[in-house]
Chains A and B, each alone.
Chain A
Amino acid sequence: MTSTTEELTATSLLRFATAGSVDDGKSTLVGRLLHDSKSVLVDQLEAVKQASRRRGQESPDLALLTDGLRAEREQGITIDVAYRYFATPRRRFILADTPGHVQYTRNMVTGASTAELAVVLVDARNGVLEQTRRHAAVAALLRVPHVVLAVNKMDLVGYDEAVFAQITGEFTAYAARLGVNDIVTVPISALAGDNVVEPSTHMDWYTGPTLLEHLETVRVDTDPADAPARFPVQYVIRPQRGEFHDYRGYAGQLASGALRTGDTVTVLPSGRTGTISGIDVLGRSADIASVGQSVTLRLAEDLDISRGDLLAAGPPPRLTQDVEATVCHLHDRPLKAGDKVLLKHTTRTVRAVVKEIACRIDITAPIEEGGLDQHTDVQELRVNDIGKVLLRTAEPLALDDYRDNQRTGSFLLIDPADGTTRTAGMVGTTGLVTPDWPHHV
């Protein structure tokens, strides 16, 4: 009762993603986190117990808590991400649980796109595998701020410190090549419960936090308020009635930085400038709006501003029709040079053409076997491929590099014919690994 009451006071939120296949024990790990944090309710646990008994298992199979849908089993597909919610007295969690099989890269890119932390899971018996490298690369590519390597099934290697040290050494070296330096490594057994929620009694040599402890305490910084302000306009609010007859407000969510009344903002792509005369935070007047807040801005000047425009302060974004980006291709139909697409960037969607597939990046092989090499001889990017492309848009876009601003540096490529989301893109010439970018005129 104490813990549930305390739970009410936890107001900090961590969004994180797990990556790994069923074989790594990911479902068991997720089930264990939910179960041991007492987030599994009686009726859910009862359903799992019944299903386990039907399958002839003695103890409840926690993996069943995250079992797939019948439609997935019937159609042999995996829906990319399942979201789980749990809370401890210290923090609330939104977990993007990404399946490891089939659409592996696509799934993890999707889950990692909103994550502040990624848990990469490996089987202690197998060590760093192709998909471990893939997961590390995706976390690096998506710039997930914190990475945790959880070495699972330690019970099956006799809780041997040397095994753990070997795996973490190899992983850390690979991750360093990707530019990921903030890595926490935890030896666990999801099945036995070692170091997931409760400290292990079998691994005295490990003195670090349990996985949950780390999740509860890792510092999640919001972007600094002194970052350049970016405000994509979603909608123009014009009541045209009563006391608000002349009210004209620009509704949106602040993508970065902070804006105050009196600040000068540049409207892009037009380039005109205006002064913020008022900030309404969902019906309440305020002097300042900060990153993440959904607000409505009023300007002193009468400017022509509509959905798709960007209000910016500080160092301006690039205004360009040529987009160089690192992309992850998400759809079965490959992406080729010459493809006509719709490019959805913040609140603006424009027509675009793929000018060039610059390279495909190998994110699965070990470094010494060509890992992270850029293959420039490719004609297309297939589903789950990571590569670099050059796009030309019909109208100029106000772009930041993804590394500087996730929200104004990311985009989707959409099929104009059927509306399918084909590709996820991250603006920037220095994406994965090497800063070298094929030179374009």
Chain B
Amino acid sequence: MTTVTPTPLFHPTHLDALEAESVHIFREVAGEFERPTILFSGGKDSIVMLHLALKAFWPAPVPFSLLHVDTGHNFPEVIEYRDRVVAEHGLTLHVAHVQDFIDDGRLVERPDGTRNPLQTVPLLDAIERNRFDAVFGGGRRDEEKARAKERVFSLRDEFGAWDPRRQRPELWSLYNGKHAVGEHVRVFPLSNWTELDVWQYIEREKIELPEIYYAHERDVFARGGMWLTAGEWGGPKEHEPTERRMIRYRTVGDMSCTGAVDSDAVAIADVIAEIAASRLTERGATRADDKLSEAAMEDRKREGYF
């Protein structure tokens, strides 16, 4: 025992408070649902989710499986990272392949080659086949207008769709996870985190990330105001010259629509300084799919997207 101090008040930092809240959410789901899964893309938000889940149930294993929707256009560094983490913690990984759906005709490749919007169908199929009743997503409210109004527990109907009318008021830290058979609840434990919080937490907890998050030299070409990596998915086209640049990725998604930013940030402290100074949101800077229209995210969300 330590010496007794008169009023040992706990002064949590914002990261302590966010961590405690997220852990509370993970444990609520473990207590109330039968078959939860964590959407795991190998992106930093899903990596932080997994880290929180590991801490929440220590020393027991995480009582959830992982689900990855593989567009077929993933960064090899990210897939390698994913498989290593799964093996290290003895986790169960489900993979839904967009390619399978294209091959058997349930999905049709888009003319622009972008596969992000195609993820919804395999995602919902995997949820239905595995009878997942709670699906953890790494979405944050600071990301986008449509996400700002998202609940921590977001009810989805049997088609995976989000109906704003059916969303329940969420008070205090009482989360209502009641749902009918066939419906499921999307759970967002990082709702109240900002991009900066996520990075500061990664630094504090010394969480390893796929190396593409840090500055490195890469052959890229310009499209739609972003640097894209050349790949089998259809780039660069003839009029798009490739050049070698020092870049890094702020988000990790489908290679066809995830852009890199010019950066010299080779270590996490550099990344944090860069983000703090950046005047563009991460989605604005690096996601072509969110530039599609003003309500792009809202539309995809209603259809059952992440």
Return B301 CB to nearest CB of chain A, in Å. Answer: 9
Chain A interface residue count, CB cutoff 8 Å, equals 83
- The SS class assigned to the B binding surface is loop
12 contacts between A and B (CB under 8 A): A7-B276, A69-B164, A82-B148, A92-B14, A113-B172, A234-B28, A253-B24, A283-B59, A288-B8, A293-B12, A294-B19, A407-B173
Q: Which of A11, A67, A84, A234 contacts B14 (CB under 8 A)?
A: A11
Determine whether the beta carbon of B55 is less than 8 Å from that of A222. Answer: no
A217 an interface residue at 8 Å Cβ cutoff?
no
CB-CB nearest in chain A for B173: A407
Which residues does chain B contribute within 8 Å of A226, judged by CB atoms? 7
Give complex CA distance A330, B171 in Å: 11
Residues of B within 8 A of A (CB): 1-2, 7-17, 19-21, 23-24, 27-28, 30-31, 55-61, 141-142, 145-146, 148-149, 155, 164-165, 167-174, 176, 178-180, 191-192, 194, 196, 200, 272-273, 276-281, 284-285, 294-295, 298, 302
> 9 new A-B pairs (CB below 8 Å) besides A247-B59, A421-B168?
A5-B273, A8-B276, A79-B149, A83-B149, A258-B8, A293-B10, A411-B174, A414-B178, A420-B168
Which residues does chain A contribute within 8 Å of B155, judged by CB atoms? 419
CB-CB nearest in chain B for A261: B1
Determine whether the beta carbon of A293 is less than 8 Å from that of B20. Answer: yes
Given contacts A69-B295, A77-B165, contact A282 B23 (CB under 8 A): yes
CB-CB nearest in chain B for A253: B24
A110 an interface residue at 8 Å Cβ cutoff?
yes
Q: Using an 8 Å CB-CB cutoff, how does the interface string of A30-72 with B read, 1 for contact, 0 for none? A: 0000000000011110010001000000000000000101111
Residues of A within 8 A of B (CB): 1, 4-5, 7-8, 10-13, 41-44, 47, 51, 67, 69-72, 75, 77, 79-85, 87, 92, 94, 106, 109-110, 113-114, 222, 224-226, 234-235, 237-240, 244, 247, 251-253, 258, 260-262, 280, 282-283, 287-288, 290-294, 296, 307, 330, 342, 344, 347, 406-407, 410-412, 414, 418-421, 424
Give complex CA distance A71, B30 in Å: 32
Given contacts A41-B279, A251-B57, A420-B168, contact A292 B19 (CB under 8 A): no
Given contacts A69-B146, A106-B169, A347-B28, contact A239 B9 (CB under 8 A): no
Which residues does chain B contribute within 8 Å of A420, judged by CB atoms? 168
Determine whether the beta carbon of B298 is less than 8 Å from that of A69. Answer: yes
Given contacts A42-B280, A244-B59, A421-B176, contact A330 B31 (CB under 8 A): no
Give complex CA distance A38, B180 in Å: 44
Determine whether the beta carbon of B9 is less than 8 Å from that of A225. Answer: yes
Which residues does chain A contribute within 8 Å of B20, judged by CB atoms? 253, 292-294
Return A18 CB to nearest CB of chain B, in Å. Answer: 14
Which residues does chain A contribute within 8 Å of B2, judged by CB atoms? 287-288
Which residues does chain A contribute within 8 Å of B281, judged by CB atoms? 41, 43-44
Which residues does chain A contribute within 8 Å of B19, judged by CB atoms? 282, 294
Given contacts A225-B8, A414-B178, contact A72 B280 (CB under 8 A): no
Determine whether the beta carbon of B149 is less than 8 Å from that of A307. Answer: no
Give complex CA distance A244, B200 in Å: 31
Q: Which of A71, A251, A291, A424 contacts B298 (CB under 8 A)?
A: A71
Which residues does chain B contribute within 8 Å of A411, judged by CB atoms? 174
Which residues does chain B contribute within 8 Å of A42, judged by CB atoms? 279-280, 284
A-B residue pairs, 10 tightest by C-beta: A419-B178, A43-B284, A290-B10, A11-B13, A294-B23, A282-B55, A239-B60, A113-B171, A234-B27, A421-B168
Given contacts A83-B191, A294-B56, contact A11 B294 (CB under 8 A): no
Return A400 CB to nearest CB of chain B, in Å. Answer: 13
Q: Which of A72, A83, A344 contacts B174 (CB under 8 A)?
A: A344
CB-CB nearest in chain A for B61: A239
Determine whether the beta carbon of B164 is less than 8 Å from that of A75. Answer: yes
Q: Which of B10, B176, B280 contacts A222 (CB under 8 A)?
A: B10
Which residues does chain A contribute within 8 Å of B192, judged by CB atoms? 83, 85, 94
Which residues does chain A contribute within 8 Å of B172, judged by CB atoms? 113-114, 406-407, 410
Give complex CA distance A43, B149 in Å: 20
Determine whether the beta carbon of A294 is less than 8 Å from that of B24. Answer: yes
Give complex CA distance A258, B55 in Å: 21
Return B85 CB to nearest CB of chain A, in Å. Answer: 17
Determine whether the beta carbon of A80 is less than 8 Å from that of B31. Answer: no
Give complex CA distance A222, B8 in Å: 12
Give complex CA distance A13, B15 in Å: 9
Give complex CA distance A224, B10 in Å: 9
Determine whether the beta carbon of B10 is less than 8 Å from that of A225. Answer: yes
Which residues does chain B contribute within 8 Å of A407, judged by CB atoms? 172-173
Which residues does chain B contribute within 8 Å of A67, judged by CB atoms? 145
Determine whether the beta carbon of B164 is less than 8 Å from that of A71. Answer: yes
Return A85 CB to nearest CB of chain B, in Å. Answer: 4
CB-CB nearest in chain B for A244: B59
Given contacts A8-B200, A43-B281, A234-B28, contact A224 B165 (CB under 8 A): no
Q: Which of A77, A239, A253 contacts B59 (CB under 8 A)?
A: A239
Give complex CA distance A63, B108 in Å: 40
Determine whether the beta carbon of B176 is less than 8 Å from that of A412. Answer: yes
Given contacts A8-B272, A239-B60, contact A290 B9 (CB under 8 A): yes
